[in-house]
Homo-oligomer: A and B are copies of this chain.
Amino acid sequence: MPAKRGRPPSLTEEQIVEAALRLARSVRLESISMRSLAGELGVPVMTIYNYVPNKEALHDLVASAVLRDVRVPTPEEGTWEERLKQLERDARSALADFRGLSLDRVDSTESARLAEGVMSILASAGFTSTEASLAFATMFTFMIGQIDVDVEIAEKGGPAAAAVQNVSQVTDMTPDEIYEFGFDAVIEGLKARLGPRSRRTPTTRTRRR
């Protein structure tokens, strides 16, 4: 066993990500500077660069850490629609605690894992792989929009925030319920246009037991 050479690390990647997440609770991720992050950690700015090559890599690290907690529901956890909704709810609530975190532009194994999860749920629902891709693109687009709107609402500006607030007042629905409604509508639309139901013939029906 060789003796360790040089200085031991004074930080861990984990500590850095935690500090960034701490700051991202009150401030948009984008507006966290390397300098303020160093301040939060109590180290000089340049020390961070021993662990993270640049700010973009830091963003990816932070986003991955958050997405890591999002589970892909197993087939036992309900119908495919319930599982999709569960995953969607889980992802949104994971991201909601931190501002400006997006699924967008996150290039990581985590986003790939979740994408695959959604695709497999769609496959188990009887969608062909082409249909599943189309459905995935549509749902993903909606979710990206939701996250954006969440940020807007948190910062109390913009037309989407106004729309949601308007609905809240008129219908007594919470923003969460409004989102659920929207996601349901998207799934409903996808079912109407794609999937086994629209092709259903008695012989191709899969049956249980």
Contacts and interface: CB of A to CB of B under 8 A. Distances in A.
Interface of A: 102-107, 111-112, 115, 129-130, 133-134, 136-138, 140-146, 148-149, 152, 157-160, 162-164, 166-167, 170-171, 173, 178-179, 181-182, 184-190, 192-193
A190 B186 CA distance: 8
A172 to B, nearest CB: 10
Contacts of A137: 160, 163-164, 166-167, 178, 182
A184 B192 CA distance: 10
Q: Is the interface of A mostly helix, strand, loop or mixed?
A: helix
This chain's copy number in the assembly: 2
Contact of A105 (B134, B152, B167): B152
Contact of A138 (B148, B173, B182): B182
Nearest to A177: B134
B188 A134 contact: no
Contacts of A140: 145, 149, 159-160, 163
29 contacts: A102-B148, A103-B160, A104-B148, A104-B152, A106-B158, A107-B158, A129-B170, A130-B167, A130-B170, A130-B171, A133-B163, A133-B171, A134-B173, A137-B160, A138-B185, A138-B186, A140-B145, A140-B149, A140-B159, A141-B160, A141-B179, A142-B142, A142-B182, A144-B144, A144-B149, A184-B193, A188-B193, A189-B192, A192-B192
